[in-house]
Structure 1
């Protein structure tokens, strides 16, 4: 408020008045400084003036940052107020100013009363001095200085041109560097792909080696099995040949037995015929004498005697045929028993008999059957 006479309120009023004076001096300086299109007039500043201007810039920067901190703190305090009509007290504003100065000025802080006022006063004094010097022409340069300054301008333009060219070259180099980076990335990707392909190739080679080794093992195993099968086949063929030899021997023995049986059958047949003839003769003699004695009594009995002789002959033939059938049946039974035994022995061999051997056995069986019949 305008009626507030506290020290901080007085400081704020003085700062506001100094700010107005400083704005007036800045406007005056802007009017006195040569414009860009005025090439006939130039200014020359001494080192003290330049140092004063740099100090003023630092002071203005500190003042700006301090006022910004104070405004931020006041905004926070206003937001914390519960009543919209309530105002922030002067004491709170002063505390915020102390905190802001401590934050901005740091070691050079002397409180808002000294730090803020000193910065404002030094800046205002520097601007007033510069405006007065510009008004009196203290900073105006001589023709020699202007010529040298023009030379400096030319050199500056050349330097600026060289800088632009260097910037252009730098941009081209940056583009080349980017392209080089892209090439490096591409090369890295290709290298990674090549590494992956090498890994796959090594894995495939290992698989091929393992498969080749497995194939060789299987090949050796099959060769060994083939050799074993050949040996077993040779053994079984030998067993078959031995069995065929045994069968042939049995067949020869059967042939011999058959021949002996035939001879015996012939002998038995002869003996039987002789016995039958003898019995027939004896019976005929007896019947003839009996017939002569009884011919007168029984003439009708002569025809049965003749029939009796033919009946005896038929009976002998039937007995002979029965004996032959019995012998043949016995031989067939013996042959079947031997063939069954040979079949059992062949079945134990567990391999199929070659076709030639089967044909030989069939021929032997066929010839044996024909001989028996």
Structure 2
């Protein structure tokens, strides 16, 4: 049988098979007036009074408020007066109140603070844009309120929250509470990617019938944990939510893809006191040729320097400067080769395929070593001899065909064999 290979190239633009990962986030708007929000706060033992009823119909009103916590990243970007407004928004959203008094604040700052709350709390996914009402007397503004828009009815939100929580609880049952934070992070990253499909049709649905709920769901934790479909914001919010439940600090980041300016979202996470960037959407290959559970690690725990090669952060929300490299996926897992050798690649592939992983990835220290590997493994077809050696050691893989991805921006080569 003739040997065959399928070439899949990921350029610096993060494009794969003619489709840009960034394009998978097409038309998601992250300006503070249009950002889509997200669901309810676990981990807070709020107390309720059964006698209280909010105007919006929430029958149990909390008697303990949640305050702005600097561990919530975007809260820390605000000044003292804005943090008070942050608290008002947060508790109003959780209590399903009708409005928030915003007198004394400019409209752009009102929406900015509101956005900071939603960026810090992926649990609050059910809030729409809302509106601002001013009250005038003798030509002067005497009061101002932000009228909250709920994307669904209160009872619907409660039921949807129950669906989310039930599925999240099932996911977290698989986590060893004694596992290191890094292992928990890998679990969350892989679990979301393997169980979520990128929702490429969401905008076609909106354009055809005006169903805004399609975007709402796909941009939220509900899309990931209940529907199994999401866009980049949904992936990022789901990671933030699960990691928060596991006690790992994780923030939401947004901006654009560097190549074409398409809006995009990703995360930053703290391990051992050091921040790293994480992009789940670009870790999920959007291509029918890939195995259903294929995962890419090109943007797993990367530095600011690496991020800026392909991402442009929104300057309205300053991000942490990530310089640590300890937990960068390839370095931590000894998949970074300073020098190319056939034996070194064999060892990496064998280890991965012995664990029944659907792919094996190698990162090279510089372009010279990367292209030495490409010439030998791909052009000279040395990869077939490696696959044969692996098969001879009892690992059941197809030695006659494979496909690969090449991320030449990050110097990463990933091999996908076929398993029997």
TM-score where L is the length of structure 2:
0.17
Higher helix share: 1
TM-score where L is the length of structure 1:
0.18
